[in-house]
Amino acid sequence: MTDFVQGPCTVSPARVFAFADYNVDGSFHENSEIYHNRAYSYDEDRTWVENMANGLPERGRNLPPCERCWAPQDKWVTFLNHKLASPLGVAAGPLLSSQWVRLAASRGFDCMTYKTIRSHYHPGHGLPNIIHLQVDEQLPVSGPACKGPLYARDRLPGSGVGLHDLKPGASMGIRGDGLGGGSSGMLAITNSFGMPSLGPEQLAEDLPAAAAALNPGQMMVVSITGTPGRPGLSFQEDLVLAARTALAGGATALEVNLSCPNVGASHVALYQDAPAVEALLAGLIEEVGRKVPLVIKMGSFPDCDGMRRVLQAAGRTGVGAVSGINGISRRVELPGGAGPALGPDRPTSGVCGDPIRAAGLEFVTRARQIIAAEDLGLELVGVGGVTQANHVMEYLQAGADIVQTATGFMWRPNLGIDFQRLWASSGYSVQRADGRGGRG
Direct distance between the N- and C-terminal alpha carbons of the chain, in angstroms, rounded to an integer: 28
Cβ–Cβ contacts within 10 Å for residue 121, how many? 14
Spatial distance between the Cα atoms of 77 and 257, rounded to a whole number of angstroms: 24
CB 296 within 8 A of CB 323: yes
Helix, strand or coil for residue 35?
A: coil
Q: What is the DSSP secondary-structure string of 211-267?
A: HHTPPTT-EEEEEE---TT-TT--HHHHHHHHHHHHHHTT-S-EEEE--S---SSSS
Cβ–Cβ contacts within 10 Å for residue 76, how many? 21
Spatial distance between the Cα atoms of 258 and 272, rounded to a whole number of angstroms: 9
Spatial distance between the Cα atoms of 436 and 399, rounded to a whole number of angstroms: 9
Residue 260 appears among annotated catalytic residues? yes
**Closest of 271, 279, 264, 266 to residue 297, by C-alpha:** 271
Could you say which DSSP state residue 1 is in?
A: -
Spatial distance between the Cα atoms of 425 and 343, rounded to a whole number of angstroms: 47
Taken in order 414, 420, 425, 431, the sign of the CA dihedral is: positive
Helix, strand or coil for residue 78?
A: strand
CB 397 within 8 A of CB 19: yes
Q: Which of 66, 69, 111, 260 is catalytic?
A: 260
Spatial distance between the Cα atoms of 404 and 78, rounded to a whole number of angstroms: 15
**Phi-psi category of 353—alpha, beta or left, where left has phi over 0 and alpha has psi -120 to 50?**
left
Instruction: Identify residue 26 by its one-letter amino acid code.
Output: G
Contacts of 283 (CB under 8 A, 6+ apart): 236, 240
Q: What are phi and psi of 101, to 5 degrees?
A: -60, -40
Q: What is the DSSP secondary-structure string of 266-330?
A: SSS-GGG-HHHHHHHHHHHHHHHTTSS-EEEEE---SBHHHHHHHHHHHHHHT--EEEE--PEEE
Q: Which residues are catalytic?
A: 260
